[in-house]
Copies of this chain bind each other. A is one copy, B any other.
Amino acid sequence: MPGTIDKKLEELGIELPVPAAPIANYVGFVRSGRLLFVSGQLCDAGGALIATGKLGSQVTVEQGQAAARACAVNLLAQVKAALGDLDKVVRVVRLGGFINSAPDFLDGPKVMNGASDLMVAVFGEKGRHARTTVGVTALPRDAAVEVEGTFEVS
Asked if A93 contacts B32 (CB within 8 A), the reply is: yes
* CB closest residue in chain B, given A108: B140
Interface residues of A (CB under 8 A from B): 22, 24-30, 32-35, 37-40, 54, 56, 91-96, 98-99, 101-109, 113, 116-117, 119-120, 127-142, 146, 148, 150, 152
Contact partner, A25, options B30, B107, B113, Cβ 8 Å? B113
Can you report 18 residue pairs joining A to B where beta carbons are below 8 Å apart?
A22-B131, A25-B117, A25-B127, A27-B129, A30-B92, A32-B93, A37-B93, A37-B94, A37-B130, A39-B131, A96-B132, A99-B138, A101-B138, A103-B138, A105-B138, A106-B139, A133-B140, A134-B139
Q: Chain B contacts of A103 at CB under 8 A? A: 54, 137-138
Q: Chain B contacts of A25 at CB under 8 A? A: 113, 116-117, 119-120, 127-128
Complex CA gap A107/B139 in Å reads 8
| Known A33-B34, A106-B141: A146·B120 in contact at CB below 8 Å | no
* CB closest residue in chain B, given A127: B25
Asked if A135 contacts B128 (CB within 8 A), the reply is: no
Asked if B34 contacts A34 (CB within 8 A), the reply is: no
Q: Chain B contacts of A150 at CB under 8 A? A: 37
* CB closest residue in chain B, given A120: B25
* CB closest residue in chain B, given A119: B25
